[in-house]
């Protein structure tokens, strides 16, 4: 059950037109039409075929896409690797995406989720704050915030044994 929730959330983190909350922000879109491999990769990742999506996206990236398409594709790779539980790889792709476009709220959101997977809650919260500042109404930001809060705000009870 927990695994399916995590995979489902990771799919929600994908860049896709259905998830675009702030259409005026740059690179808040899927890579469609720019390159057939980037487009097919985004579709495969969105459908949960992560290995196919990663392979197709990497082929598209090797074809030297435009700057903005490259940033979005790297964010897609981040989301796919996070969905597979490969947090370290995901973090690297999101960081590279953010180096190209520091206003890509999806990359912040995806990296936040990867940090969450590693139990790095302060880093996850910091990236989530950045994502929220850029896209305050994004549903996946609220979902990740809930996951982090579940872990960070868990009550701790200390029992004493009085004999």
Q: What is the pLDDT of residue 155?
A: 67
- Report how far Cα 117 is from the mean position of its chain's Cα atoms: 11
Q: What is the pLDDT of residue 64?
A: 77
State both tokens at 105.
């709220």
Kindly give, in sequence order, each residue whose CB lies less than 8 Å from that of residue 115, ignoring residues fewer than 6 positions away: 87, 91, 121, 123, 124, 127
Kindly give, in sequence order, each residue whose CB lies less than 8 Å from that of residue 33, ignoring residues fewer than 6 positions away: 39
Q: What is the pLDDT of residue 154?
A: 67
Q: What is the pLDDT of residue 152?
A: 81
Q: What is the pTM of this model?
A: 0.74
Helix H or strand E encompassing 72: helix 67-83
Mean pLDDT per block of 10 residues along the chain (163 residues) reads 44 39 38 75 94 96 87 95 96 96 95 96 95 93 89 72 73
Mind listing the domains of the chain with CATH numbers? 2-152 (1.25.40.10)
- The position carrying tokens 């579940």 is 150
Q: What is the pLDDT of residue 25?
A: 39
**Is the separation of the CB atoms in 67 and 100 below 8 Å?**
yes
**Is the separation of the CB atoms in 76 and 45 below 8 Å?**
yes
């Amino acid at each position: 059950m927990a695994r399916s929730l995590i995979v489902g959330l990771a799919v929600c983190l994908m860049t896709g037109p259905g998830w675009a909350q702030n259409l005026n922000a740059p690179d808040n879109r899927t890579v469609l039409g720019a390159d057939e491999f980037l487009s097919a990769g985004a579709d495969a990742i969105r459908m949960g075929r992560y290995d196919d999506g990663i392979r197709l996206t990497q082929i598209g990236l090797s074809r030297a896409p435009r700057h903005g398409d490259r940033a979005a594709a790297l964010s897609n790779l981040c989301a796919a690797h996070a969905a597979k539980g490969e947090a370290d790889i995901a973090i690297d792709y999101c960081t590279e995406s953010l180096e190209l476009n520091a206003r890509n709220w999806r990359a912040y959101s995806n990296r936040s989720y990867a940090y969450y997977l590693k139990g790095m809650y302060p880093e996850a919260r910091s990236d989530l704050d950045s994502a929220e500042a850029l896209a305050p109404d994004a549903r996946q930001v609220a979902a990740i915030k809930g996951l982090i809060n579940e872990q960070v705000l868990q009550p701790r009870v200390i029992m004493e044994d009085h004999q």
